[in-house]
Structure 1
Amino acid sequence: MHLTTTSIIRHLALAAAFGAAGLLPLGACAQEPSWPTRPVRVIVPFLAGGSIDVVARTLAAELSARYHQQFVVDNKAGAGGTIGTDLVAKSAADGYTLLLTAQGPLVINPFIMSKLPYDAQHAFAPVSRVVDAPNVLVASPKAGLPTFDAFLQRARSGGAPLTYATQGVGTTGHVTGALLDQALGISLTHVPYNGFPPILTDVMQGRVDLMIADTVNVGERVRTGQLAAVAVASARRSAVLPDVPTFAEKGYPEIVAGPWFALLAPAGTSKAVRDKLSATVRDILAKPGIAARFQGMGLDIVGSTPDDLQGYMDKEYARWGAIIRKAGIQPVS
């Protein structure tokens, strides 16, 4: 084969290029995604001012500084979180619309609402489980239920059923009460309220025996002795209430319940983008100032990977569906 000087130079250049590529580290050709190149919208499907809103705005400020693009929190409340969640489900899967939600719209609403406008199992791509706020079973110090053993003995005594207050039918507190009944073999009487302040008043005055609320709402009141904590519904002791035992310690590891806040994107969003964002969220949560702020609010830091969150959501969906069906809690329209 006759080669001209020009073709020889061309072949040598190509060989040099491929040789150099062979010297590059693995994955160097698969560059990190350039996302974000414009502002990102973070939908929170609940009212402004609550703990999840504070978490969202804290993360948004940190992400804006990290990526030099604005992460804008947009509260779209209504229908137990369904309205804002549906908005994200129907958004473009381009990484520029995200959802920061509590677990209700993902693993509880599908079983307590007769019809959802989105498919909770398939409409979203996971990014990170950010924080947890375990539920706590608490009583007034005057109720005579200072420990788990005292509570269980009274609940199984055959006398008048103990009453427990929550912020409404179908809330995390309500389904946690159903879980307690099933796991402990007891029958508590649910007293639903509209909002937390009247619950606190009635429990403190003894009109209701107990309440189920998360560490955000009762952590400080337990620490100051205003309320007596029976047990925490978490797999391990909460950093917020380190002196309060878990139900697991008492022999009931299945009693794990309470709000968790997760960051998600519409289904189909690039895994590379989600991995990049998830790693950044974990870095942010590791900052001492951020961790201290969230723990001061009553939140336990998590910071999971996308794959970990997907596995966790799948298990939670199946678990809560079974609990709600067994409890006979009927879907509402």
Structure 2
Amino acid sequence: MKSWKKMLATVVAGVLSLSLLSGCKEDKKAESASWPSQPVTIITPWAVGGLADQIARAMTEYGKEQYGQPLLADNILGSGGAVALTEYLKEKPNTHKLILGGEGSFAIAPLSMKVAYKFEDYVPIINIYSSTFVLLANPKVGVASFDDLQKLIATDKTVKIATNGTASSEAMQVAALFTEMEGKFKIIPYEGANEALTAVVSGEVDFAVTHASLAREFVKAGNVNPVVAFNEKRLVDDVYNLDSVVEHGYDTWMTNICAVFIRAGTDQAIIDKNYTALKAILENPKLQATAKNIGLTLDIKDGAAVKAYIDSTIAKAEKYSKLVK
């Protein structure tokens, strides 16, 4: 009799467990199906007015059409993006907040400063753009080419170089380059690539590393001299005809990416919804015209491609950090 009752209790417990599991799955399906149930926000971890901020704000104009909810833009500044990415850890999976990030956020920041987050805390959704960094000189420094830079370094002068924070690919690449060239330098951190550009234009610093696209008009006007491109090949367009670091025998470069991330653990259905919506926004001809006007090259890639690229830059950054040390 006791054995029969024990068997019945086991069966009932099993049925209840299956019901609870089934209920959880149904709840998750319902949450994914109804997402987004409120406005979606894209957080930019860098300064207002920079390329990432400009394109994020332009994207918000088309959010309602793709999400069925408003798409908002927000900025959280500090430590080259580390403050925002750390703050974002408070978000739970399936959050309505997205965040921008790139190779500097995950490959370089953990090597140059103590951060509370890991790459595994985020899931890449889509890449927005890719950009080449350039080294710029204030004209008063008298450096207008890589040969000029080598001559300046030979004088043993310590130069000031503006970058977007210290935990960034800009800072890591230029520090690695100057270290290999045996040059004396001091990194001066700013809150954003646009602020670093302003610093070199004003003469507050000798050099700056920023996006080639962001500096175009200043190069055309002669406010700054482009010195070298942090790329594997020469940078040639209607403004630039610029040597790459690789042409001079240095492997100190990374292509900058700006991608959209969400909290790890988010349902795949929600990740897919975001990818579909953001891809449609980026493919909108009006948005593409805006990107062209601000000098951005959109480079749409899925989350798997973003992950593969950042994984590769993690290895590269570790090599650079040894050079700098």
Cα drift, residue 171 of structure 1: 4.3
1:231 corresponds to 2:232: no
Q: 1:122 aligns with which of 104, 120, 123?
A: 120
Cα drift, residue 100 of structure 1: 1.7
Q: Which has the higher helix share?
A: 2
1:192 corresponds to 2:188: yes
Cα drift, residue 172 of structure 1: 3.8
Cα drift, residue 280 of structure 1: 3.7
Q: 1:48-127 alignment to 2 at 5 Å? A: 48-94=48-94, 96-114=96-114, 116-118=115-117, 120-127=118-125
Q: 2:208 aligns with which of 201, 208, 211?
A: 211
Aligned to 1:302: 299
Aligned to 1:256: 253
C-alpha separation in 1, matches of 2:140 and 2:48: 35
Answer yes or no: is the 8 Å Cα contact 2:124–2:303 preserved in 1.
Answer: yes
Identity %: 20
C-alpha separation in 1, matches of 2:255 and 2:184: 18
Cα drift, residue 179 of structure 1: 2.6
Deviation per CA, 1:96-147: give whole Å up to 9, x if none: 2211235443222211223x222x2210111112113322112244544333
Q: 1:141-156 alignment to 2 at 5 Å? A: 141=139, 143-152=141-150, 154-155=152-153
Deviation per CA, 1:30-69: give whole Å up to 9, x if none: xxx7463412232223344433222222223323222221
Answer yes or no: is the 8 Å Cα contact 1:177–1:188 preserved in 2.
Answer: no
Aligned to 1:8: none
C-alpha separation in 2, matches of 1:66 and 1:225: 42
C-alpha separation in 2, matches of 1:188 and 1:257: 22
The alignment's TM-score, normalised by the length of structure 2, stands at 0.75
C-alpha separation in 1, matches of 2:99 and 2:236: 26
Aligned to 2:264: 267
Q: Which has the higher strand share?
A: 2
C-alpha separation in 1, matches of 2:44 and 2:291: 17
The alignment's TM-score, normalised by the length of structure 1, stands at 0.73
C-alpha separation in 2, matches of 1:250 and 1:162: 25
Q: 1:8-23 alignment to 2 at 5 Å? A: none
Cα drift, residue 166 of structure 1: 1.0
RMSD over aligned Cα atoms:
3.1
Cα drift, residue 153 of structure 1: 5.3
Cα drift, residue 326 of structure 1: 2.9
- Call closer, same or farther: CA 1:240–1:129 in 2, change over 3 Å: farther
Any idea what SS the aligned residue of 2:128 has?
A: strand
Cα drift, residue 222 of structure 1: 0.8
Cα drift, residue 151 of structure 1: 3.1
Any idea what SS the aligned residue of 1:69 has?
A: coil
1:322 corresponds to 2:323: no
Structure 1 spans left out of the alignment, 5+ residues: 1-32, 329-333
Q: 2:156 aligns with which of 160, 163, 182?
A: 160
C-alpha separation in 1, matches of 2:34 and 2:141: 55
Aligned to 1:36: 35
